[in-house]
């Protein structure tokens, strides 16, 4: 049931053992800045799994923006799989991209950055590529996340270690997706004015947020967290509570938070329903991403290999917002009609018989409010919750 506390069996945990070579894009982070090697290896594996995505941008995409009449850029829907030749083409272009991308573990000291911001990519006009028509990039990562990872390792906090390893790795490939797009944009005006987001949609995507497009390609949604204002822990190492004070989830993408939080993105198509669907992500799923034996199989499998199983979840709406609550009710009926899930009237999703809201975790919290994933850029937190009025 969604919201239940989760205990990770630490009696015989398999130590993360990734052996995949670190991609040149991430070598400097590990070697020059002494970044976490396991994160660099995981990011390299995610990059390899995302070859069809980068093939669509770097190999097939039309990279001829019209600087006088606006920006025009075509990027097709990523293929389900690539031929051997297409894979090699894409690897060569990623290797070229690596010559013009620099990653730093921290933001410049004079930047005013929200604590929740994970990374940022800026164009580097001093870089020119042999074949790519655009410019290089500088990627800045939130150093607080790296510090949190080291604290988790030092305190033997498995849950926190797993999460921060995944969060850092997926942030790195998220930002590389932005760098890949910038490397194809020859129009300086388009980049500086952020018009790159006006017309650059990848395939059939409804939003021009290329990093989230990549995460959705890899995971079938966006792996993130919902952060209830609650006091009890969600995750335990045996009987020891983890330092994580939030629940790891997979959010359906796109969702209304994309419009709220990523203010520079453009949207196309019909308006999105004002409801969030969040699926529980287990620690065991994250743990397997750190095992080479899992990747030996996953790299040979289809694009669903990294999708977390959707066994339980919750549908959230903007509290005290009648239209949003109608959207939640509509989503509940939609899931029920599919015949796969049991969904309570309060929006709790389960593959098990309906037993009502959980007695532990979110619904048992003394404080019933749920805010959005994080504060981002210029937006204040919003308050989200299920239809259960005990939350508010």
Residue 292's φ and ψ, nearest 5 degrees, are -65, -35
Cα gap 50→46, rounded to integer Å: 6
Compute the average pLDDT of residues 284-307.
94
Least confident of 15-29, 278-292, 350-364, 373-387: 373-387
Q: How do 247-251 and 275-280 pair as beta strands?
A: antiparallel
pLDDT at 96: 98
Q: Note whether 281 and 292 are within 8 A (CB).
A: no
Residues in a beta bridge with 384: 318, 370
pLDDT tens, position by position, 44-101: 999 999 999 999 999 987 655 455 455 556 788 999 999 999 999 999 999 999 999 9
**Cα–Cα distance, 260 to 265 (Å, whole number):** 10
d(CA 254, CA 206): 7
Specify the pLDDT at position 94.
Answer: 98
122: its two tokens: 């800026």
CA distance 294 to 46: 13
CA–CA separation, 207 and 270 (whole Å):
11
Condensed to tens digits (0 to 9), the pLDDT of residues 142-154 reads 999 999 999 998 8
H runs (alpha helix) in the chain: 24-31, 37-49, 51-55, 84-98, 143-154, 158-182, 188-192, 196-199, 210-219, 256-261, 283-288, 292-298, 322-338
CA atoms of 107 and 189, how far apart (whole Å): 24
Name the pairing type of β-strands 135-141 and 119-128.
Answer: antiparallel
pLDDT tens per residue across span 329-383: 999 999 999 889 999 988 899 985 544 444 433 322 222 222 222 222 222 333 4
Here the tokens at position 14 are: 């398999």
Q: Is 25 helix (H, G, I), strand (E, B) or coil?
A: helix
Question: Does residue 347 come out as left (phi exceeding 0), alpha (psi in the -120 to 50 range) or beta?
Answer: left
How far are the Cα atoms of 175, 195, 249 from residue 58, in angstroms, in the given order? 15, 19, 30
């Amino acid at each position: 049931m969604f919201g239940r506390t989760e205990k990770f069996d630490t009696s015989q945990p398999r130590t993360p053992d990734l052996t995949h070579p670190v991609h040149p894009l991430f070598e400097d982070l590990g070697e020059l800045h002494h970044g976490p090697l396991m994160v660099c290896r995981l990011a390299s594996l995610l990059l390899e799994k995302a070859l069809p995505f980068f093939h669509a941008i770097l190999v097939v995409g039309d990279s001829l923006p019209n600087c006088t009449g606006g920006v025009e850029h075509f990027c097709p829907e990523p293929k389900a799989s690539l031929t051997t030749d297409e894979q090699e083409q894409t690897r060569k272009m990623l290797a070229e991209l690596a010559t013009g991308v620099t990653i730093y573990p921290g933001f410049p000291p004079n930047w005013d950055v929200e604590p929740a911001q994970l990374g940022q990519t800026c164009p580097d006009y001093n870089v020119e590529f042999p074949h790519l028509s655009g410019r290089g990039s500088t990627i800045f990562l939130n150093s607080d996340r790296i510090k949190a990872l080291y604290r988790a390792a030092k305190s033997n906090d498995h849950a926190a270690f797993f999460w921060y390893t995944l969060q850092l790795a997926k942030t790195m490939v998220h930002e590389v997706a932005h760098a890949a797009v910038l490397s194809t944009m020859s129009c300086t005006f388009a980049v500086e004015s952020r018009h790159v987001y006006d017309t650059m949609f990848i395939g059939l995507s409804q939003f021009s947020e290329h990093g989230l497009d990549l995460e959705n390609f890899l995971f079938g949604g966006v792996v993130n967290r919902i952060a209830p204002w609650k006091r009890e822990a969600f995750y335990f190492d045996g009987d020891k509570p983890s330092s994580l004070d939030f629940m790891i989830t997979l959010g359906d993408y796109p969702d209304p938070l994309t419009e709220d939080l990523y203010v520079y993105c453009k949207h196309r198509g019909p308006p999105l329903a004002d409801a969030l669907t969040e699926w529980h992500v287990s620690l065991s799923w994250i743990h397997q991403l750190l095992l080479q034996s899992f990747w030996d199989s996953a790299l040979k499998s289809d694009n669903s290999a990294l999708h977390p199983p959707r066994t339980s979840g919750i549908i959230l709406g903007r509290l005290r917002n009648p239209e949003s609550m109608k959207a939640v009710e509509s989503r509940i009926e939609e899931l029920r009609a599919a015949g796969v899930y049991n969904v309570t009237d309060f929006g709790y999703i389960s593959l098990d018989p309906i037993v009502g809201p959980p007695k532990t975790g979110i619904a048992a919290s003394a404080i019933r409010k749920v805010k959005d994933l994080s504060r981002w850029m210029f937006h204040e937190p919003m308050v989200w919750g299920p239809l259960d009025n005990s939350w508010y």
